Amino acid sequence: MSTDFSQPQRQSVVGILVLFFYSLQQYGRALWPIIVIWIFKFDEVNKMYLLLGGILVFVAIAVVSYLKYLNFTFFLDTINEEFIITEGVFNKTKTAIQLDKIQQVNINQSFVQRLIGVYELDVDTAGTNKKEGAIKAISHELALELKSRLLQNEVKKSTSEAEESHFGKSIEKQLEEEHPFIKISFLSLLKIGITSNYGRSISLLLLFLITVSDYIKKITGRDVFHDENIENYVDKNLVIQTFFIFIILLLSTVLVINLVRIVFKYYDYNITRQKGSLLLSFGLLNTKSTIIKPEKVQITTVTSNYFQKKMNILELKIRQATSGEKEERKSAIEIPGCSVSESDAILQLLFRKIPKKGVMLKPNFRKLGFSLFLSIGLPLSGFGAFGYWVMPVVFEYGYLVPIYIILVGFVQFFRFKNSRLFIDDHFIIKQSGAWDISNEIIEPTKIQAITTSQLFWHKNLNIGSITLHTAGGEISFQLGNFTTIKKYVNLWLYEIETSNSNWM
């Protein structure tokens, strides 16, 4: 029996617990420094006041959670074709989402929601930098039915769209029979975990250590990384051995963090073909289910490095329409650890053909020179100035300068060597990267705007830059042949004007 969504609906009753835990989590994140101080100074705190304060906080959060549940309703306005959400505690807000503007409806389940037995349904459009509607506690059956009703507008085809060629239908049917299901194995996740995201993991680890040491210093008054503290544990004669041990421990920690993050986030990654779209579901503790529609895809990035090529794995990142760079990074959908054949199957579904690299544009060698100036020249000038006028003791570490020059020089050289723009009749592919080589793929019909630029001293050299703007981000290529760039810009602008692509 179908549910009557034309009448206001409330979330599941157990949703009160979900709202309580989420509110408790938010307050805990905001007040965790104070909580840490209380833990360290527990003996100095009045236990009675602490207990009463804790009880009052829990009661207040419980009351707020109940009011959130009571005031939260949702329904479908079939007359105006809108999805209406009303929410609030004391001040109520009413959100009306037009059904034809809905980009995506995701069904997710966090660890807390899994324990309670409910799901979260998110409604997203391309109009803002956040989710327009989120139902935190709903049964799986009701979530699936509501998702189907919200996306009914997507399946309404015009007469011209319905009259597809017989050849296209046969190809689509053949693909559905040959590739109805892709599963990213646990072994593939392990391979991705040990071959990617080292920079991100090291940054997070260092940020965590710095934050912890800062709070320890505020609480205890001791600097963990002060020279006297380090000398208590490290023999001066064993500095080199200690340094290498630290590097090994750091790399081991980063490797473990990578593996744990990848496995927890992408465990049981299933890709299913569903009515011409991709249905993705994954997650160990927090499960996520999302749909990728080929016509909504803006930029598709295929990334791999030397080790991943040897292991026959790569990473796909798919960006759909967003409203800003921050939202773009958050909304990018990653498919880790798929093989080359699986990647081809996904690209075939998204583009109805496997993208090919056409005419190749190379950057001028001045791009390498400018990159070396920014990454080596300026930092070394600053290092010299700081040592000469402020702290001469830094020159004692001058032996690290050649190492820095060699490492950064190699990185910039390979970034320049791999920087290419490939132009085909149907695709534009931007290749970039030093170690992880990325190929960003867009279709000319998805371009929203094109920006070209040329500095006055580059006119005689006939070099310039181009930026392609899409609803999912930008692609830039610097210092290429400007005559060739302008020729393709005119062609792309013509295709944009004459295209009837419905990517929104």
Q: Phi and psi (nearest 5°) for 268?
A: 55, 50
> How would DSSP label each residue in 406-420?
HHHHHHHHHHHHH-E
Q: What is the pLDDT of residues 198-250, one digit of tens each?
A: 666 666 666 766 666 666 566 555 554 554 554 454 454 555 566 677 777 77
Are β-strands 287-292 and 297-304 bridged in parallel, bridged antiparallel, or unpaired? unpaired
Judged by DSSP in three states, 352 sits in coil
Q: CB of 431 within 8 A of CB of 360?
A: no
pLDDT number for residue 176 = 44
Q: Would you kindly state where each structural domain of the chain is located, as residue ranges?
A: 15-155, 166-353, 359-498
pLDDT number for residue 160 = 41
> How would DSSP label each residue in 245-257?
HHHHHHHHHHHHH
- Which is more confidently placed, 26 or 284? 284
Judged by DSSP in three states, 17 sits in helix
CATH placement of domain 15-155? 2.30.29
- Rounded to whole angstroms, how far apart are CA atoms 286 and 266? 9
Class of domain 359-498: mainly beta
Residue matched to tokens 């360290």? 40
- Rounded to whole angstroms, how far apart are CA atoms 293 and 468? 22
| Beta strands in 139-267, from DSSP E residues, in sequence order | 181-184
Q: CB of 306 within 8 A of CB of 458?
A: no
Q: Is the pLDDT of residue 441 over 90?
A: yes
CB-based contacts of 140: which residues, under 8 Å, 6+ apart? 107, 119
Most confident of 98-107, 244-253, 331-340, 464-473: 464-473
- Rounded to whole angstroms, how far apart are CA atoms 272 and 342? 12
Q: Is the pLDDT of residue 413 over 70?
A: yes
Our measurement of the distance from residue 475's CA atom to the centroid of its chain's CA atoms, rounded to an integer in Å, reads 16
Comparing C-alpha atoms, which of 20, 201, 18 is closest to residue 110?
18
Judged by DSSP in three states, 122 sits in strand
Q: What is the pLDDT of residues 79-103, one digit of tens each?
A: 888 899 999 888 888 888 888 778 7
294-319 per-residue burial string, b: 16 or more CB within 10 A, e: under 16? eebbbbbbbbbbeebeebebbbbbbb
> Secondary structure of 47-116 in the HEC alphabet?
HHHHHHHHHHHHHHHHHHHHHHHHHCEEEEECCCCEEEEEECCCCCEEEEEEHHHEEEEEEEECHHHHHH
- Rounded to whole angstroms, how far apart are CA atoms 164 and 352? 13
- Rounded to whole angstroms, how far apart are CA atoms 116 and 17? 8
Residues 430-446, mean pLDDT to the nearest whole number: 93
CB-based contacts of 391: which residues, under 8 Å, 6+ apart? none
Q: What angle do CA 455, 299, 136 make, to 5 degrees?
A: 125
| CA distances in angstroms from 323 to 40, 319, 477, listed in the order given | 44, 12, 22
Enter the pTM of the model.
0.76
Task: Give residue 491's identity as a one-letter amino acid code.
Answer: L
Residues 479-502, mean pLDDT to the nearest whole number: 87
- Rounded to whole angstroms, how far apart are CA atoms 200 and 187? 22
- Rounded to whole angstroms, how far apart are CA atoms 276 and 292? 9
- Rounded to whole angstroms, how far apart are CA atoms 241 and 223? 23
Q: Is the pLDDT of residue 162 over 50?
A: no
CATH fold match for the domains 15-155 and 359-498: yes
Q: Is the pLDDT of residue 171 over 50?
A: no
CB-based contacts of 473: which residues, under 8 Å, 6+ apart? 298, 299, 319, 322, 325, 328
Residues written for the chain: 504
The model's confidence at residue 260, banded by pLDDT at 50, 70 and 90, is confident
Q: CB of 258 within 8 A of CB of 198?
A: yes
8-state DSSP, 9: B
H or E element at residue 197: none
Q: CB of 319 within 8 A of CB of 472?
A: yes
